[in-house]
Amino acid sequence: SELGHKKTELERWLAKITLAQTFYGHFYIEHNRGHHVRVATPEDPASSRFGESFWTFLPRSVWGSLKSSWELEKTRMQRLGKSTWSIHNDVLNAWLMSVVLFGALIAIFGPVVIPFLIIQAVYGFSLLETVNYLEHYGLMRQKTASGRYERCAPAHSWNSDHIVTNIFLYHLQRHSDH
């Protein structure tokens, strides 16, 4: 969600609420604090490799992003002197939002809604991962003489200036701009 890139607390919370329906709230943490730092490097689980199929990429990105978001939050909680298992952990509070949302929908509509919730959640996070797959496919930053990766540049994201994709994808295909 592009809201996750915003500076205000309200917009960041709206991003987490938006991701609650996919049970993929950790995406907010990994995308902004992991992917943006490691994009187009072998260390980034959300950057697809040249020749890698989507079906190979998908589990690597899903599990790698989950692991990365947990490690990022664990480090943040330690730095703040709080327990990793605190409500202040953004991974946990994002999952809690999903539990509350799914619980409310099950309470209202009954267990018959469970398959629909699962299908739409998997479909939703798969769309996010499809976009990740396409936006950096096969693009890698080179290491400099210092051993660090070169700065991220527009050449490390696939972009499209087509008017139709701009309209229907809310400028998502201008990935290097975000």
- Summarised one tens digit per residue, pLDDT across range 113-146 is 999 999 999 999 999 999 889 888 888 888 889 9
169 is a domain residue: no
User: Does 131 reside within a domain?
Assistant: yes
In this structure, is residue 108 part of a structural domain? yes
Q: Is residue 125 part of a domain?
A: yes
* Count of domains for the chain: 1
The pLDDT tens digits for 2-16 are: 544 556 788 888 888
In a domain, 162, yes or no: no
Encode 84-98: b = buried (16+ Cβ within 10 Å), e = exposed: eeeeebbbbebbebb
Taking each helix axis from N to C terminus, what angle separates 114-135 and 90-109, rounded to the nearest 10 degrees?
A: 140
Task: Report pTM.
Answer: 0.81
Q: Which amino acid is at 46?
A: A
Note the maximum CA span of the chain: 60
- Residue 46 in any domain: the answer is yes
Residue 139 sits in which domain range? 2-153
According to DSSP, the residues that pair with 149 across neighbouring strands are 143
- Which residue type occupies 130? T
